[in-house]
Amino acid sequence: MKNSALKNKFLLLALLTTLAAIGVHLYLTQHFYALKFGTQEGPSVCNVSETMNCDVVTASSYSALFGIPIALWGMATNLVLLYFLAVTRWNLTQDRAQTSRYAFLFSLVTVIASVVMGIISFTKIGSVCLFCISAYVLSVIGFIGAWLGAEDLSASNIVEDIKDVFVSQRWVLGFAIAIPVIAFLGNIMYLESHGMSEVDKLAKEKVAYWNVAPQQTFDQTTGLIMQKGSGEPVMTIVEFADFRCGHCKSAAAPIHSFVNSHPDVRLIYKPFPLDGTCNEALGGRGDGISCGLAFAAMCAEKNWQKGWAAHDYIFDKQTEIVQAGNLDKNLEEIATHIQAPLEDLKKCVASPEIRELVSKMAKEGENAKIQGTPTIFVNGRVLDRGQVIPVLEAAYKSLK
């Protein structure tokens, strides 16, 4: 009796950790779709550093299987596991011992998958996701609970149980088949409900237009430059954007995550302020704030090699910056964030050199006939919807 009570406690532990794992996988699934399709507002809450970065992991080609997020596969598996744990814990099955061993086997699958994905993150992607790690830890704890809660667990019994799946216990096979069914249907339902079902078709269409778009030439040495690898890039993305543009803020996370998950891709950010005080294409109209923010980012890079830090901060605080409408206040906050002397930053922002640099990059955009921001060019040709990861991935694959 005591042994049975103890096993029930371990099964309850496995149940609770499996419920938690389902919640984590649900978050990761939503994060996958938001990042992939450009609906995520800003970086993920679990982006701690370049190494601990959920966006980079999600943007990699390893984050999906058959076009379905790995997180959704994990959620489907844990839902099935939850059922087996529940019917065992509360004796809702004719053969509790055998059902407990099936729960153990499904739990083993989650652990194996966690180990494989963990290895891929460290060796192939070079970044790890804190939420993913929490899912891995939960799968291990759940596995221990299922293991210690299983009855008559032995190699011979496991072999017989597996044989029974194809003979007398076909209902277990049905639940195993339910995992891919849940994953496929869940993916279809999500894409349909959010108007994303045609994304693969859209990507092919945009890449087809990109292949025949006029070739443009850009200065590869000016702007903010990002590349995780050190070799010659296969793909060079040139992005023209304005710091007060909401669509540009939304584009930043997926583009940066894509670049950081592909070492042979280079990103060059060139400011195209929607502000005529430094952008001739706007005919002199503007309040000078968008230009000032662009000056500040270029100064941060030129003097302190913190251009990307300034870039990220400005987009992260975009709402407050727009509401403030005060460049001096903005510069003070940027200087504090990048730990630079405010007077040195202001002096650089006012310098003819930096103003000429930004005007020159804006002129590049005007010469390339961009119609708005953000505008993305890949290897010199405009790529419409280039802020959407499936579109970038399709262009990348065509180059490879």
Q: 166 and 55: one domain?
A: yes
Q: 41 and 110: one domain?
A: yes
The Cα–Cα gap between 50 and 129 comes to 10
Sign of the C-alpha dihedral, residues 318, 321, 322, 328?
Answer: negative
CATH number of the structural domain spanning residue 157: 1.20.1440.130
Angle at 152 between CA 149 and CA 155, to 5 degrees: 110
Q: 255 and 137: one domain?
A: no
Q: 273 and 185: one domain?
A: no
The Cα–Cα gap between 199 and 103 comes to 37
Q: 227 and 369: one domain?
A: yes
Q: 146 and 294: one domain?
A: no
Q: 156 and 206: one domain?
A: no
Q: 37 and 173: one domain?
A: yes
Q: 167 and 218: one domain?
A: no
DSSP SS3 for 40: coil
pLDDT of residue 32: 94
Domain boundary among 155, 174, 193: 193
CATH number of the structural domain spanning residue 311: 3.40.30.10
Considering its fold, how many domains does the chain have in total? 2
DSSP 44: -
Tens place of pLDDT for every residue, the chain, 400 residues? 467 899 999 999 999 999 999 999 999 999 999 998 888 776 777 888 878 899 999 999 899 999 999 999 999 999 999 999 999 999 999 999 999 999 999 999 999 999 999 999 989 888 899 999 999 999 999 999 999 999 999 999 999 999 999 999 999 999 999 999 999 999 999 999 988 888 889 999 999 999 999 999 999 999 999 999 889 999 999 999 999 999 999 999 999 999 999 999 999 999 999 999 999 999 878 899 999 999 999 999 999 999 999 999 999 999 999 898 899 999 999 999 999 999 999 999 999 999 999 999 999 999 999 999 999 999 999 999 999 999 999 999 999 8
The Cα–Cα gap between 306 and 96 comes to 61
DSSP 271: E
Residue 1 near residue 8 (C-beta atoms within 8 A): no
Q: 9 and 40: one domain?
A: yes
Residue 40 near residue 31 (C-beta atoms within 8 A): yes
Q: 392 and 322: one domain?
A: yes
Domain range for 295 is 200-399
Nearest to 252, CA basis, from 262, 242, 263, 265: 242
Sheet with strand 224-226: strands edge to edge: 224-226, 265-271, 235-241, 375-378, 381-382
Domain boundary among 193, 210, 231: 193
Which residue reads 């919640």 in tokens?
23
Domain boundary among 150, 172, 193: 193
Q: 160 and 227: one domain?
A: no
Beta-strand ranges (E) seen in 81-167 are: none
